[in-house]
Amino acid sequence: MHGSRPNSLDAFWMPFTNNRGFKAQPRLLARAKDMHYFTPDGRPVLDGTAGLWCVNAGHTRDRIVQAIAHQAAELDFAPTFQLGHPLVFEMASRVASIFPQGLDQVFFCNSGSEAVDTALKIALAYQKAIGQGSRTRLIGRERGYHGVGFGGVSVGGIGPNRRQWGPLLPGVDHIRHTHDPASGTFVRGQRECGAELADDLERLVALHGADTIAAVVVEPLAGSTGVLVPPKGYLERLREISTKHGILLIFDEVITGFGRLGAATAADHFGVLPDMICCAKGLTNAAVPMGAVVTRPEIYDAVVQSSPPGIELFHGYTYSGHPLAAAAGMAALDIYAEEGLFERARQMSQPFGDAIHGLQGARHVIDIRSLGMVAAIELEPRPGAPGARAGEVFHRCFDSGLLVRYTGDIIALSPPLIIERAHIDEIADKLSAVLASVE
């Protein structure tokens, strides 16, 4: 009986979860199709979050299912250390072809967390390769989320994600976040004012010296912290300052990549070209874990050409460019293209925004923010119990047949891009009813 426990749920230590609360009252998902999950007893749950910001083309798409099955039967695994398989090169070319012109070198990993740590390493390797070895400092942003590797947590700026782990990486600093309720609430899209917040990078340059800073990493739209939309001109200014001081600009597009804002990338949507983009999630429609860093060719060339013969970048993963992930990714990119899902996201963002901002007068709602197919509904916290109200909304929504996400007292929505207007209405109606019922 060694190690046995009476509850079949006990063995799984769940991530980012109140394990005690969940196991006392579990809510399980047994299968999924298109816009819906289904509980073990067959009850449908409308997916208002694309799983976890990731199932952009809807669930269990036949084309992806078949691609994975075919690949598993033909080549289940192949190492990409000193070897390769044809599909990974094809997948890299496809990714480069839909990303902004000027970003065309693709390094594969398995998650957004790994993509960020990879990009930070590439930034350090690049600065060293061009004779700027003193540039070892990494700059993140307050309220930023960049995964859970030590690099990503260090540049990340969400307090609870950092406090448990001690001092983290040395030589890391943070610029200010872009959230400013005083300049307006219930704003659709980008605020008119706030571009000057990017000048906070100049403060860190003055403090540390530009010759010590390798890279700055930001989410173009901050997702996990509660959908913080950048002010107009902010990203452009950040690009300008980075270029002036020889600092690499990294966009973490793990959430915004592959259609979420109505374009292949947020870089396309905002018209700002970073030096690197981190992606994952929608890369394979989440069917098989995969992440990637897409860089400027100058970065690749500097690292590769300046190295002595042999391995140029001592970094990688057993599953970098995994055959099943590459097959799923190719199928997902085919669906995005053939069904015009990025364009569809642009078209649906208007009715989606209308419906969510229509909740402005709902009980407890103190702010609503939206851009593309992403929205946040911020609730007034209960006195002395931050997060409790949104947590109750999350549970009641699930029980009424709607999956939302919450962080603190913010409800986040990011539905699959195949959403229909009837689904949008259902999301708004169910949220309205739940908000009215919660104290």
Q: Where in the chain is the domain with CATH 3.40.640.10?
A: 65-338
Average pLDDT over residues 357-374: 97
Q: Which amino acid is at 404?
A: V
Query: Checking phi first, is residue 51 left (phi over 0); if not, alpha (psi -120 to 50) or beta?
Result: left
Report which secondary-structure segment, H or E, holds 387.
none
| Architecture of the structural domain at 65-338 | 3-Layer(aba) Sandwich (3.40)
207-255 residue pLDDT tens: 999 999 999 999 999 999 999 999 999 999 999 999 999 999 999 999 9
- pLDDT attached to residue 181: 92
Residue 4 has pLDDT above 70, yes or no: no
Residue 308 has pLDDT above 60, yes or no: yes
Q: Where in the chain is the domain with CATH 3.90.1150.10?
A: 19-57+340-437
174-204 residue pLDDT tens: 999 999 999 889 999 999 999 999 999 999 9
CA distances 382 to 11, 20, 181, 237, 389, Å, are 33, 22, 19, 37, 6
Alpha-carbon span 170 to 131, nearest angstrom: 21
Whether 175 and 241 have beta carbons less than 8 Å apart is answered as no
Alpha-carbon span 218 to 233, nearest angstrom: 15
Whether 322 and 330 have beta carbons less than 8 Å apart is answered as no
Average pLDDT over residues 34-49: 98
Third-level CATH fold of 19-57+340-437: Aspartate Aminotransferase, domain 1 (3.90.1150)
Taking the whole predicted model, whether its pTM rises above 0.95 is answered as: yes
What one-character-per-residue DSSP string does 323-358 give? HHHHHHHHHHHHHHHHTTHHHHHHHHHHHHHHHHHT
Sole residue written with tokens 């259609």: 259
Residue 202 has which token pair? 């100049």
CA 376 from chain center: how many Å? 15
Whether 233 and 97 have beta carbons less than 8 Å apart is answered as no
Question: H-type helices in 31-76, by residue range?
Answer: 50-53, 62-74
Alpha-carbon span 331 to 62, nearest angstrom: 10
Task: Point out which residues pair with 191 in neighbouring strands.
Answer: none
- pLDDT attached to residue 1: 42
